[in-house]
Each structure stands twice: as C-alpha cells, then as structure tokens.
Structure 1
C-alpha cells in the first residue's frame, strides 16, 4: 500500500511527456482546428452531444494553462507532430487525491494503432508518479467495448454500471465506471497482464 502524502497535489505544471510513438504536450489554440475536424464517431464514443464552434474551441484550448485542477494534453504523433487527439485529467479532488481520466482520438484512422494506449500510459505514469494522485477513474459507455478492453489492459478495474447513463440517437446506453489505484499502478505500471 502506498502511504498518503501530506503535500498538496496540483496539475498546475503542464509537462511534455514523450513516448516511442506519441508526444503529449500542453494543448494550444491551434489544436482547436484538429478538434473541430474530429470524426463524429469520436463524439459518439465519448458521449459528446454538443457541437462547438471553432471560436469556442479556440477559447477553451487557449485557457487550459490557467487551471491547476486539470491537465489537458494534446496527443501528437511523434514523427509528424500532427495532433491526433487529447488526454485529460480533470475533477481533481485534492483531499482524496483523485481525479477523472478522459481520452479522445479525433480521427478513426488513429484507432487501433496503439497511440491511445501509449498516451494513456504516459499520462497515468505522470499522475501517479510525479503528481501523487491515489485514484483515477473514468466512464466508458457500453457501445465502446474496444475502449473498455484498452482500459482493462492498462489496469483499470470495473467498479459498477450506471444504467441508462447516456441517451444516444434515442437509445439508452449504460456507462461503466472503472478506476485504477496508485498501489495497483506501482505493481504493474500499466501492464497488469504479461501480454499487455
């Protein structure tokens, strides 16, 4: 078991994290263009009903550096520098050392290439090892079994189901809550299964 740390945690630092295939870097206003051009399938998989104007996205991306309670990083392909998605740690609960996790790949051409898995491992390592977070949770919708498989491969554990949590095109979809704890991460560092 990892001991509770007495220092306050924060996402005020906006790091650049480099992997073999992706670089996670602080989001920039220019990333709004990639987000605005996102495949509608990306919105469906994350349960995003709203559509945002380019101007609204530019304001949002331009304000991310101001927030110590969340960390928004662009996922850029290492070889091209192209922004292909984003990862976020949000809803930081300082007292309970917990936060939420979200990832979105903007174009289905990026699906199934391992970019999301690598990006997830990078940001989870940062949260647990550099920031000192104890618990990270997420919600994945029932119509996204591919994402749930990736989360399980990273070590997230299913904790419960929010029945009919999302209404998409007139159909009710369950949301599955999953979480990973610091002591679990310390044991497997995002590789809980030998082949993972």
Structure 2
C-alpha cells in the first residue's frame, strides 16, 4: 500500500460507498474501506474521523462555494437570484466523479438510518450557510431562511436528476439545479 498515493480521499469515498451498497453500512468497517481503497487505516483517519463522515466529504467546500456565489451575486439581486448564483458556483465544481457517485450515494443513504440522519444534518448545514450569506447581503431573516431552504431543495433535486441522467451528454450540474430552483419558485404560487 502506497502511503502518499494521490487521490486517497476520493478512493476512500468510492470504496466506502461500494462497500455500503454491497454489504450494508453497519457491517462495513474502516479497515475494509481502507483496504478496498488501497490505503492504511491511519490514512483513512487522516481524512475522516469515522465512516459516517464519508457521507459529508466535501460539505465544507460545498458550503463555501454556495456562500461565495451568494456573496458575489450582483447588488440588488433578489434572494432567489443570489441563491441561483450560489448554486451555479457550487455546481461548477462538480465533475464526473460526483455524478458517478450519485446513485451509489442515494442507495447507501436509503439503506441506513444513520446515514439518513447524517444526510439530514448535511442539508441543515448547507441551508444555514446559505441563510447566513443572504443575511449578510441584507436579506431579512425569514426570507433568508426560506431562500436557503429552497437552495438546498434545488441542489438536492438537481443533483439527483443530473446523476441519473444520461452520462454520455456531458451536461453540467448547473442547468439541473437552476431548473429545480425555478420549479420551486413556480410552485410557490400554488401554496395559496
């Protein structure tokens, strides 16, 4: 096992998702994940405190990209236009590996209550990051919270559609997340 082989973090995530799908989250050990990824257990722990945290790999970067996009939105942009700017920025960082992992991630989460809880916490964290960025732009608190929640829903819906779409097209994630946001905006008219 190479100690400093490049791509260890990504290989650990892929190995974990494969093992979670094959044998279940609860029966998968850190040692098995490390072995499948071709690294040592100590390398695993350099990247992740435990196997639950594999699910939120990249959450900090995603939150940062969303908030930077919101902060950089044009002055006078509506709250949802600012969220759209955040979604575009974050979506631009998603590549083929993110797309390929989507179905496996969805299956692993569906099969584990613990991962469902971790996924819910991830959503809360992303919504909080967007809400904070919107408040920093001067958006009133309740509107910022609602727009942040819309942003999370749009990202999750767009990501799910993108990861399940034909991979041969080479589509980027941004059109999917922006279409989901627009669909949510349109749906608000039905709320009464």
Q: Which has the higher helix share?
A: 2
Q: Which has the higher strand share?
A: 1
TM-score (norm 1): 0.30
> For the pair shown, which has the larger CA radius of gyration, 1 or 2?
2
TM-score (norm 2): 0.30
